[in-house]
Each structure stands twice: as C-alpha cells, then as structure tokens.
C-alpha cells in the first residue's frame, strides 16, 4: 500500500474516491458489475471534474493526471 502517494493530485484522488463510493465501490473492493457513469448521481462529480480540468490544468491542448484509481474510473473521465 502506498499510503503517501507519489505525485498524485490530491483533488483528483479525492474525486476518484468519490466516484468509486457513488458506484458502490472502493479502491480495495471494485464494483462487481459495470458502472453507469451517465447516471444522475454522477452529475455533480462531472461538474467537479470539469472545474479541476479547467482550473488545475489550464487551457492547453493536453493535460495529464496520475492516479491508480483511473483503472476503475477512466470511463467517467473519457
């Protein structure tokens, strides 16, 4: 377990944790089925993701964030 993280953005990690919780999962216990990322319960998280991407990463053509939780939440971000 990497308790301290390694260059992960704390706000991205927090949002990914929120996404997992909304989907009935945790990093240590992924959702047993396919998560419907378009469900209404994720809409506030979509707004937060847009804020993070706009404010934290600027208006450049490319952005990057590192969080192992993306392997479970990547469809949301795409």
What is the rounded CA–CA span in Å between residue 60 and residue 50? 14
First to last CA, the chain: 27
Residue 27 has pLDDT above 70, yes or no: yes
| pTM (whole model) above 0.75 | yes
Average pLDDT (56-64) is 72
What are the tens digits of pLDDT across the range 30-51?
988 889 999 999 999 999 999 9
- Looking at the chain, how many residues does it have? 78
Is 22 in contact with 45 (CB distance < 8 Å)? Answer: yes
Least confident of 15-19, 50-54, 66-70: 50-54
Is 9 in contact with 56 (CB distance < 8 Å)? Answer: yes
Residue 19 has pLDDT above 90, yes or no: yes
Q: Where are the domains of the chain?
A: 10-77
Judged by phi (left if over 0) then psi (alpha if -120 to 50, else beta), residue 58 lies in left
């Amino acid at each position: 377990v990497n308790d301290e993280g390694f260059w992960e953005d704390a706000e991205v990690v927090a949002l990914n944790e929120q996404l997992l919780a909304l989907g009935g999962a945790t990093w240590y216990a992924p959702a047993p089925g396919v998560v419907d990322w378009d469900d209404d319960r994720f809409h506030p998280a979509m707004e937060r993701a847009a804020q993070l991407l706009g404010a934290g990463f600027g208006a450049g053509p490319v952005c990057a964030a590192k969080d192992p939780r993306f392997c479970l939440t990547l469809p949301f971000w795409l």
